[in-house]
């Protein structure tokens, strides 16, 4: 009775959203393990992939193969045989950070690969999304990923624009910015107040920071529970939508969705190392973290440890926390850049601390997680002695395209489709994030798959971002395992037909009109389908075949078959060799 009335009072004081955002603490289940060590994937992930490979992917590859063939380009027999057999390849998709621009460009590429879009099917690129096993997102790319997964894998048009006013998911609501949502000070104050109030229950037992406020603000755009009409209403706005609960979504339960992974960085006081040029945050030698629907953890050999996503917030095996893994808190962590900004001007941090005073030892600019890895790998893990992990945007080390999850050997990825919409200058991507990953792999490759050689300078990327490029076409002979091939699709240049570029908007732009969004999606569609009409002819009528050649190439090599037919000319056209 007492417990009930205490809970009831909390609800009254701080609203439904706050209750839903507040984690609960209970006795741990009997078989609970806080930490799993190693660089292998979890049994749950193995099982998900196994079921996906048995139940969903064979038909997905058959449908994709039909779409490629319908373009009329003659494929070598082996391409068709691999796609339509049980020897099909393992395809992962990584979609970069870069704010809304990256979310939109990434969405445009996913749409071009979506077998449900008839234009994509006609181009012969549609269907590869359905055949992918893994999908990784970071920062703006994590907004795309989280919104897509939690809305139960709708088409991109439904995802971005919603279904009108009645649906749970109102679309990305880009008529509102993220922080400054109204020019009316009174309305803005209501919003700020609500965001702060939503943290009340969590703040009773857990550290809170600007990361929580940021996640609550983002939740209004990227999770169910908000429409244009309810933007300012005192409702839940996606509070209580948990990353670990995604396992219950119909299209996850049926294994129709690629396995979703979000990448995070750590802000550590114990690491000094090379900061990648142009970055001012996290050294390249910092451990990297990921959150998937089953686990949060680190695959780098310096830590190689994982904890259940469902029980994030937990630090021992007696009392277990649930409800900490709020979807937009995690995606908000992956996009938390506040630690890079001038702390004295990040007023929201101060406001949080005024409302919920934090210990002076706590950072207010990071997203804070009770450290489940306390005492683990003390000799190699920088933050083994910390009680709190201070986490931030997954791209702050310079690796803004989330490739590392695809290099976990146990995931056996054959080809990574790397979508890069980072702003490396002028709002376009010039390859910096790939250079960063190449450099990091030289610092500590321990136990990860071989990353294909890429140019070492931005100049070297000059012509590789203006059309898709394949890396790792010819793995070196001495490598026992070749590692994945990379199909690199960059937001790299203005359209070739001379029309004004729409996809190179600033990372700080959060307000977009519907025509702007449609324009960006249309230009991205051209990039991803190599469909620029020049003098009435498409840019590369063989692109669909070339993409299929890349998708099957590692599977081809496994069978000891030579590349032939159109695949030979495709690889001449699209491969970069060191």
Ligand X SMILES: *[C@@H]1O[C@H](CO)[C@@H](O)[C@H](O)[C@H]1NC(C)=O
Q: Collapsing DSSP states into helix, strand and coil, what is residue 535?
A: coil
Q: Which of 160, 163, 94 is nearest to 405 (CA)?
A: 94
Rg, Å, the chain Cα set: 23
Tell me the three-class secondary structure of 361-422, residue by residue. Answer: CCCCCCEEEECCCCCCCCCCCCCCCCCEEEEEECCCCCCCCCCHHHHCHHHCCCEEEEEECC
Q: Tell me whether residue 8 or residue 50 sits nearer to ligand X (CB atom).
A: 8
304 binds ligand X (CB under 6 A): no
Match 């990091």 to its residue by tokens.
440
Q: Please identify, among the stretches 164-172, 252-260, 405-413, 469-477, the one whose residues bind ligand X according to the rule CB under 6 A.
A: 164-172
Task: Give least dist CB 530 to ligand X, A.
Answer: 14
Q: Tell me whether residue 309 or residue 505 sits nearer to ligand X (CB atom).
A: 505
Q: Tell me whether residue 87 or residue 234 sits nearer to ligand X (CB atom).
A: 234
Q: Please identify, among the stretches 9-17, 31-39, 300-308, 431-439, the one whose residues bind ligand X according to the rule CB under 6 A.
A: 9-17
Task: Give least dist CB 557 to ligand X, A.
Answer: 27
Q: Tell me whether residue 88 or residue 191 sits nearer to ligand X (CB atom).
A: 191
- Looking at residue 132, the DSSP 8-state letter turns out to be -
Binder to ligand X among 42, 44, 46, 119 (CB under 6 A)?
119
224 binds ligand X (CB under 6 A): yes
Binding-site size, ligand X (CB under 6 A) = 51
Residue 195 — φ and ψ, nearest 5°?
Answer: -60, -45
3 binds ligand X (CB under 6 A): no
167 binds ligand X (CB under 6 A): yes
Rounded Cα–Cα distance for residues 134 and 245 (Å): 18
β-pair partners for 264: 289, 393
Q: Is residue 248 classed exposed, middle or buried when 0-12, 13-18 and 19+ CB atoms within 10 A define those classes? A: exposed
Q: Please identify, among the stretches 40-48, 65-73, 468-476, 498-506, the one whose residues bind ligand X according to the rule CB under 6 A.
A: 498-506
Q: Which residues within the stretch 352-391 sit at the binding site for ligand X (CB under 6 A)?
A: 353, 357-358, 360, 364
Q: Which residues within the stretch 425-454 sit at the binding site for ligand X (CB under 6 A)?
A: 426-427
- Who contacts 146 (Cβ-Cβ below 8 Å, separation ≥6)? 137, 222, 223, 243, 260, 262, 327, 328, 330, 331
Q: Collapsing DSSP states into helix, strand and coil, what is residue 116?
A: coil
498 binds ligand X (CB under 6 A): no
Q: Which of 173, 183, 150 is nearest to 220 (CA)?
A: 173
10 binds ligand X (CB under 6 A): no
Binder to ligand X among 3, 30, 183, 344 (CB under 6 A)?
344
515 binds ligand X (CB under 6 A): no
Cα separation values, 154 from 116, 149, 158, 214, 393, Å? 10, 8, 6, 25, 26
Q: Tell me whether residue 86 or residue 318 sits nearer to ligand X (CB atom).
A: 318
149 binds ligand X (CB under 6 A): no
* Residues in the chain, overall count: 578
Binder to ligand X among 189, 270, 375, 481 (CB under 6 A)?
270
Q: Tell me whether residue 41 or residue 151 sits nearer to ligand X (CB atom).
A: 151
Binder to ligand X among 44, 46, 152, 355 (CB under 6 A)?
152
Task: Give least dist CB 481 to ligand X, A.
Answer: 31
Six-digit token string for 141: 């790319």
Q: Which residues within the stretch 21-40 sit at the binding site for ligand X (CB under 6 A)?
A: 25
Q: Please identify, among the stretches 44-52, 82-90, 192-200, 565-573, the one whose residues bind ligand X according to the rule CB under 6 A.
A: 192-200
Q: What ranges in 236-363 are assigned the alpha helix state H?
A: 250-253, 327-334, 347-355
Q: Tell me whether residue 368 or residue 437 sits nearer to ligand X (CB atom).
A: 368
Task: Give least dist CB 477 to ligand X, A.
Answer: 26
Match 């709190």 to its residue by tokens.
388
Task: Give least dist CB 443 to ligand X, A.
Answer: 16
Query: Which positions from 455 to 474 touch ligand X by CB under 6 A, shown as an x/- string?
Result: -------xx-----------
Task: Give least dist CB 559 to ligand X, A.
Answer: 33
Buried b (16+ CB within 10 A) or exposed e, 274-284: eebeebebbbb
Binder to ligand X among 51, 81, 84, 168 (CB under 6 A)?
168
Task: Give least dist CB 278 to ligand X, A.
Answer: 15
Q: Tell me whether residue 193 or residue 479 sits nearer to ligand X (CB atom).
A: 193
Q: Is residue 160 classed exposed, middle or buried when 0-12, 13-18 and 19+ CB atoms within 10 A define those classes? A: buried
Task: Give least dist CB 392 to ligand X, A.
Answer: 15
DSSP letter string, 468-485: -EEE-SS--TT-SS---E
C-beta separation of 556 from 532 below 8 A: no
Q: Please identify, among the stretches 84-92, 310-318, 388-396, 481-489, the one whose residues bind ligand X according to the rule CB under 6 A.
A: 310-318
Q: Tell me whether residue 451 or residue 525 sits nearer to ligand X (CB atom).
A: 525
Binder to ligand X among 501, 538, 541, 565 (CB under 6 A)?
501
- Who contacts 493 (Cβ-Cβ below 8 Å, separation ≥6)? 428, 465, 466, 501
Task: Give least dist CB 503 to ligand X, A.
Answer: 8
- Who contacts 434 (Cβ-Cβ below 8 Å, separation ≥6)? 401, 403, 418, 420, 454, 461, 471, 486, 488
Q: What value, to the nearest 5°, has the Cα angle with vertex 432 and ends 292 and 137?
A: 15
111 binds ligand X (CB under 6 A): yes
Q: Please identify, among the stretches 278-286, 287-295, 435-443, 518-526, the one whose residues bind ligand X according to the rule CB under 6 A.
A: 518-526
Task: Give least dist CB 311 to ligand X, A.
Answer: 11
C-beta separation of 233 from 30 below 8 A: no
Binding positions for ligand X, rule: CB under 6 A: 12, 15-16, 25, 111, 117, 119, 150-152, 155, 157, 167-169, 190, 193-194, 197, 224, 234, 241, 249, 270, 272, 315-316, 318-319, 342, 344-345, 347, 350, 353, 357-358, 360, 364, 426-427, 462-463, 494, 501, 504-506, 521-522, 525
């Amino acid at each position: 009775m007492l417990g009930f009335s205490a809970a009831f009072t909390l609800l009254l004081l701080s609203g439904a959203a706050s209750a839903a955002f507040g984690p609960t603490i209970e006795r741990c289940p009997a078989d609970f393990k806080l930490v799993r060590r190693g660089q292998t994937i979890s049994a749950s992930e193995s099982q998900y992939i196994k079921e996906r490979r048995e139940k969903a992917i064979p038909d997905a590859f058959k449908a994709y193969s039909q779409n490629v063939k319908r373009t009329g380009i003659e494929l070598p027999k082996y391409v068709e045989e691999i796609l339509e057999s049980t020897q099909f390849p393992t395809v992962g998709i990584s979609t970069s950070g870069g704010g809304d621009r990256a979310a939109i460009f990434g969405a445009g590429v996913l749409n071009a690969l979506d077998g449900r879009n008839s234009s994509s099917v006609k181009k012969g690129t549609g269907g590869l999304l359905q055949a992918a096993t893994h999908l990784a997102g970071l920062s703006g790319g994590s907004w795309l990923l989280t919104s897509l997964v939690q809305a139960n894998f709708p088409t991109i048009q439904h995802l971005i624009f919603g279904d009108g006013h009645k649906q749970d998911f109102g679309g990305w609501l880009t008529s509102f910015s993220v922080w400054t949502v109204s020019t009316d000070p009174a309305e803005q104050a209501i919003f700020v107040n609500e965001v702060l109030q939503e943290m009340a229950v969590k703040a009773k037992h857990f550290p809170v920071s600007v990361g929580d406020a940021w996640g609550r603000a983002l939740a209004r755009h990227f999770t169910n529970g908000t429409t244009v009409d309810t933007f300012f209403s005192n409702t839940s706005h996606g509070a209580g939508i948990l990353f670990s609960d995604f396992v219950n979504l119909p299209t996850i339960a049926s294994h129709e969705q690629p396995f979703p992974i979000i990448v995070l960085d750590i802000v550590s006081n114990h690491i000094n190392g090379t900061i990648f040029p142009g970055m001012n945050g996290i050294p390249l030698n910092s451990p990297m973290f990921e959150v998937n629907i089953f686990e949060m953890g680190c695959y780098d050999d310096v830590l190689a440890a994982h904890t259940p996503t469902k029980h994030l917030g937990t630090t021992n095996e007696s009392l277990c926390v649930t409800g900490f893994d709020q979807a937009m808190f995690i995606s908000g962590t992956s996009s938390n850049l506040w630690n890079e900004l001038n702390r004295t001007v990040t007023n929201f941090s101060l406001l949080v601390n005024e409302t919920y005073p934090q210990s002076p030892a706590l950072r207010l600019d990071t997203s804070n997680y009770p450290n489940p890895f306390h005492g683990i790998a003390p000799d190699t893990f920088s933050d083994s002695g910390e009680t709190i992990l201070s986490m931030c945007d997954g791209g702050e080390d310079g690796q803004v395209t989330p490739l590392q999850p695809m290099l976990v050997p146990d995931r056996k990825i054959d080809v990574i489709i790397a979508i890069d919409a980072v702003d490396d200058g002028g709002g376009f991507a010039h390859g910096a994030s790939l250079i960063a990953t190449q450099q990091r792999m030289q610092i500590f490759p321990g136990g990860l798959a071989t990353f294909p050689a890429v140019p070492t300078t931005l100049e070297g990327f000059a012509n590789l971002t203006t059309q898709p490029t394949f890396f790792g076409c010819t793995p070196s002979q001495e490598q026992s395992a070749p590692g994945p091939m990379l199909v690199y699709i960059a937001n790299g240049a203005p359209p070739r037909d001379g029309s004004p570029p729409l996809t190179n908007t600033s990372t700080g732009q959060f307000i977009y009109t519907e025509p702007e969004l449609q324009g960006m999606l249309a230009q991205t569609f051209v990039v991803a389908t190599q469909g620029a009409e020049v003098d009435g002819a498409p840019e590369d009528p063989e692109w669909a075949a070339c993409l299929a050649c890349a998708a099957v190439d590692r599977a081809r090599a496994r069978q000891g078959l030579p590349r032939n037919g159109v695949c030979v000319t495709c690889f001449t056209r699209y491969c970069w060799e060191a």
